[in-house]
Amino acid sequence: MSLLLTEDQVQIRELVRRIARERVAPRAAEIDRTAEYPQDMFDLLRELGLFALPFPEAYGGSNSMVSSCLAIEELGRACYNTAYLLLLQWVPFGAILAGGTQEQRERFLPRLAAGELRGAISSTEPQSGSDVAGIRTRAAEVPGGFRLTGSKIWCTNSHIADFVLVAARVGDEKGKGSGSIGLFIVERGTPGFVVGRREDKMGARGVPACALFLDDAFVPSENVLGEPGKGFKLVMETFNKSRPLIGARGVGLAQGATDLAREFVQNRQAFGQRVSDFQGVRWMLADMAMQTEAARNLVYKAAAMVDAGVSLEQLASIAAMSKCFATDAAMKVATDAVQLFGAAGISNEYPINRYFRDAKVLQIVEGTNQIQRNIIADRLLGRGAR
């Protein structure tokens, strides 16, 4: 790895790598096969104290996005779903840290850091997909708070979350544009708030995603995150800062797929020689290694920019590049790895098809890679950030 890491970061990487190899990898196939939430893996991450890793020392963290990407990469190398558990804890934590009141921070953040609470964030709707500005869920102001009405889809972790950060349009039907979107902390058990069925997904199977239904669900004023109607910027800030973490999941998947393919071809014989001795196979492996390393360096550049506190305007394009390139690389590497496995690659007896399915998911979630390309192009052409 061509990264200049601090001693603490090296220690984090080595610890998580060892845990991933010894305790996470043996569970990965079963988590994928059963599509059951891996509570034991959540408990393991809590035991290791990783839930506060990206955040200030006051919450038990290292205040380092680079360290967080290292943890995600090493876990993702063995098990996409276990790595995902960290991200699902970090995104709502980051949103509340960035836009919450002091009371909200004190109420939620220590318990999120300790793994005593679980959160989720929900912006996607059936008609708008990646278009956050097209949200139709309504938040009508009433005495003491807001009443939310609408529906959401693909809300990951909502089946078990103690609260969901819901993006909704503030005001009546005339409210237009991104400026009227608010972010609301909707707690489990709120009357009128229903979590729907779990989606039967191709990949990322161990952490369910569900539809949400809000029917006049009351959210008290103390659960409004930031200023009402100004949640769009907060949502975008949260997504921008989390994109290196999505990229790190891509790097982990690509590295894991390369590891498996290398081991497979070194232990197979064909036409009187090892499969790894064929030039075509060697070149495929070389391309996989180059793509993975290029993705790794771009992801950690973006992570280092977050740690350096660069402006969101400066970060947006590089964060989008890191997510887009790394997840596209993961898909390409996983596809080539399946090819190197031959017929074994399409058998559920071998783990490589799991990497292929999970990599495809990464090209779509957290803003499709087409949306990332729009962000990059807007920056190049001097247009307003999306």
Residue with tokens 């071998």: 350
Segment 96-105, tens digit of pLDDT = 998 899 999 9
Check residue 235 and give its pLDDT: 73
Active site residue 199: no
Amino acid at the residue 313: E
Q: How many residues does the chain have?
A: 386
Identify the CA nearest to 141 among candidates 149, 133, 151.
149
Q: How confident is the model at residue 386 (pLDDT cuts 50, 70, 90)?
A: very low
Q: What share of the chain is helix, strand, coil (3-state, %, to 5)?
A: 60, 15, 25
Distance CA 358, CA 322 (A): 18
Percentage of the chain exceeding pLDDT 90: 82
Residue given tokens 């869920």 in the structure block: 137
What's this model's pTM, rounded to 2 decimal places? Answer: 0.92
User: Does the structure show a pLDDT above 80 at 129?
Assistant: no
Q: What confidence score (pLDDT) does residue 198 get? A: 94
- The answer to whether 223 touches 185, Cβ cutoff 8 Å, is yes
What is the 8-class DSSP label of residue 20? I
Q: Is the pLDDT of residue 2 over 60?
A: no
- Among residues 74, 125, 237, 366, the one annotated as catalytic is 366
Q: Provide the CATH number for the domain formed by 7-113 in this structure.
A: 1.10.540.10
Question: Thinking of the domain 232-381, which architecture would CATH place it in?
Answer: Up-down Bundle (1.20)
DSSP for residue 385: P
Q: Where are the chain's structural domains?
A: 7-113, 119-229, 232-381
Q: Say what the pLDDT of residue 131 is.
A: 75
What are the structure tokens assigned to 303, written together? 């992570």
Average pLDDT of the segment spanning 86-94: 94
* Tokens 């804890």 found at: 89
Q: Is the pLDDT of residue 1 over 50?
A: no
Residue 171 has pLDDT above 80, yes or no: no
One-character DSSP codes across 248-266? HHHHHHHHHHHHHHHHHHH
Q: Cα–Cα distance between 151 and 149 in angstroms, integer?
A: 7
Confidence of residue 120 (pLDDT cuts 50, 70, 90): very high
Spatial distance between the Cα atoms of 184 and 103, rounded to a whole number of angstroms: 15
Residue in the structure block whose two tokens are 């890491």: 5
Q: Which CATH class is domain 119-229?
A: mainly beta
